[in-house]
Amino acid sequence: MAVAGFAGKLASAEVWRHRQLSPYWRGLLCVSAGSTVLLAINQILNLHFFADVVLIDNRYYLLTLALLFPFVFILFPIRRKGPYDRVPWYDIVLALIAFSILLSLSWFAERAEAEAWEFAAPTGIMVMCYILWAMLLDGARRAGGLAIFCVVLLVSLYPIFADKMPMPFTGLAFTFSRSATYHIISSESLLGIPTRAFANIVLGFIVFGAALQHSGAGKFFMDFAFALLGHVRGGPAKVAIFSSGLLGSLSGSVTTNVLTTGTLTIPAMKRMGFSASYAAGVEACASTGGVLMPPIMGATAFVMAAFLNVPYLDVAVAAIIPSLLYFFGLFVAIDAYSARRGLKGMPRAELPNLAVAIKEGWQYIFVFAFLIYMLAIEQQEILAPYYSTVLLIVINQIMPHTRWRLVDFMRFVDGAGRLFIELVGVLAAVGLVVGALTMTGTAASFTNDLMLLSGNNPYVLLVAGAAICFVLGIGLTVTAAYIFLAVVFAPGMIASGFDPLAIHLFLLYWGMLSFITPPVAIGAFAAAALAEADGMKTGFQAMRLGAILYFIPFFFVLNPAMIFHGSWTSVILVTVTAFVGVVFIAAALQGYLLGVGPLTGGVLAVASRVLLLIGGLLFAMPGGGRLGYSNIEFAMMALVVSGLGILAAFLLNRGRSARIAAKG
């Protein structure tokens, strides 16, 4: 129970790590958040709010940071132990200093760009850069944790010692002052890709997600899922997949999603006969998959689009088949587990009515459809979330049972503002990592060094990339781990001939796996706290349930047809065989083959499960890519192997039935 106790502390820390702000500070936070959104709208629509001041891009980014970054010191205490009930004087001073420096830099933004201050700044500006550099590090520690602080500290200081580092880490060295000004003033570090992605597109989607959550979308998704699936075999677990997948797409946070939806789904699963650890594992897997589910995939997907210089819609579309494959794998695994143990669904009398749920929440479906229309048809990815938010709020105010009062609107602004601040605290600092690797030239040279270390074998490089992603995902947020690897690792893998979008998605997927993989398994530990289960046992349950997630990234890298990069014939063939393969993989891991029966007891059961697992992997393995076999050849091999597995399962269950009949 010591692990479960730790899980409880983890869940509590996730909920309470923000300060409980007084009405005064909450009011200031709302003003700051509202001003940030208005500033973004002004920049996007070119409304000229500042008639005499030209809002060049860097000035806009600095003003955005000036409005939000100081609140990192107000919202997050200097230590995780508090104080949580008040804002101490030293954090107020730090917030004022950060605001003053960022405002001053924004005032001089045009001059700084014209005179290349990133290479030769005036003394006063240089001092500001030193101070802000240190404050960004502390902001990352408060908002993202000690691991992010350590990584950003070491990498941001790297340019000073780059020429003294061993191969393959040698790079062009810079003085401390030159490094500081480059970090703060150039368009490659603090004001680089992470901050640009946040200010240009992430802001709008955070507002949209917050509007959905505060207008009752969470309740609608839960009611809709329970009405649709609550009565079927293993219903509460299937509800968790459906609802957590939808809500996780909005929140972009695995742990937050677990703590939100798990309070309803985990007790329902336990009540219907699921063990505590299995129920928690289901919720952890579903919440992890939610962050990978379009149309909103969290901040990382938007940063990915900025790195690749492609529309966000391209990233969202590429993620459709992999995410559906993952959730289908969860669904089949839960169905097999439920069938093996005779677990039924909930009584219909206790479930919401589907027609009533749709009647009370149709606006959420309509707004989602409108968002997709704006993204796919109108191709207005920057404006789409703002228009969708306005539409949602207007409909929300028309309908009497969802109408906001002033206090509800303030909660919405406050909720969005807290998300802004938390992301800015991490993204602004992680930008220093990008800047350090860019200014030293390491990002470019590291590609060749990686190829040499892997013996020019792209498959060795791919496996090494998966391992590094997983390790970084343990200590860093998904976004921070992705950004680091996108700069350091992705170019080498792309140079090996892999599809660029497939590689970037690969990094995202493997960075997510630490949430369900022991010994860390943060998502599983949070779910274990709610289920009062053992954390490690929950982690291993989640790992087995979400096993397909370990293979999916390799599938779409080896054949990008799975992310719609290929002919329609290839896309359909790869998708169909992958879904068939998942059925057999789930049967092998859960010990039950649908339509045949349980796979337990004796050597024949073990042989059947092994054959089904191998056959399932062969079915799911995409052909026509780098492996040298076509989809048809893989399918033929899979038919032979899985056919033997099915035959063994049939003989096993026929023998069991004969023994039961003889006894009867």
For the ranges 57-66, 299-308, 362-371, 462-471, the maximum mean pLDDT occurs at 57-66
Looking up tokens 């132990």, which residue turns up?
81
Which of 481, 436, 488 minimizes the C-alpha distance to 461? 488
Q: What's the pLDDT tens digit per position in 618-635?
A: 998 887 666 677 888 888
- To 10 degrees, what angle do helices 276-290 and 548-558 make? 30
Q: Which two tokens stand for residue 334?
A: 């839960």
Q: H/E element holding 326?
A: helix 320-341
For residue 151, which of 464, 505, 568, 429 has the smallest C-alpha distance? 429
Q: Write out the two tokens for 397.
A: 């105010």
Residue 542 pLDDT greater than 60, yes or no: yes
Question: For residues 627 and 554, what is the distance between their CA atoms, to the nearest angstrom?
Answer: 11
CB 104 within 8 A of CB 66: no
pLDDT of res. 2: 40
Q: What is the pLDDT of residue 539?
A: 87
**Spatial separation of the C-alpha atoms in residues 424 and 433, rounded to whole Å:** 15
CB 477 within 8 Å of CB 511? no
Please give the Cα distance from 184 to 173 (Å, whole number).
17
Among the residue ranges 132-136, 204-208, 408-412, 516-520, the one predicted with the least confidence is 516-520
**Does the pLDDT value for residue 526 go beyond 70?**
yes
Residue 102 has which token pair? 């960022």
Question: How far is Cα 356 from Cα 369, in angstroms, rounded to an integer?
Answer: 20
Structure confidence by residue, pLDDT tens digits, 233-244: 888 888 888 877
What is the pLDDT averaged over residues 164-184? 86
Domain ranges of the chain: 2-195, 566-664
Give the predicted TM-score (pTM) of the model: 0.84
Residue 291 is classified by DSSP as T
Q: Rounded CA gap, 517 and 649, in Å?
A: 30
- CA distance to 112, 162, 174, 456, per residue, from 120 (Å): 9, 20, 12, 41
| pLDDT tens, residue by residue, 414-457 | 989 998 998 899 899 989 988 988 888 876 666 666 667 666 67
Cα–Cα distance measured from residue 122 to residue 104, given in angstroms and rounded to the nearest whole number: 13
Residue 51: predicted pLDDT: 57
Spatial contact of 419 and 232, defined as CB atoms under 8 Å apart: no
How many other β-carbons are positioned within 10 Å of the β-carbon of residue 16? 12
More confident residue, 53 or 2: 53
Q: Is the model's pLDDT at 3 over the cut of 60?
A: no
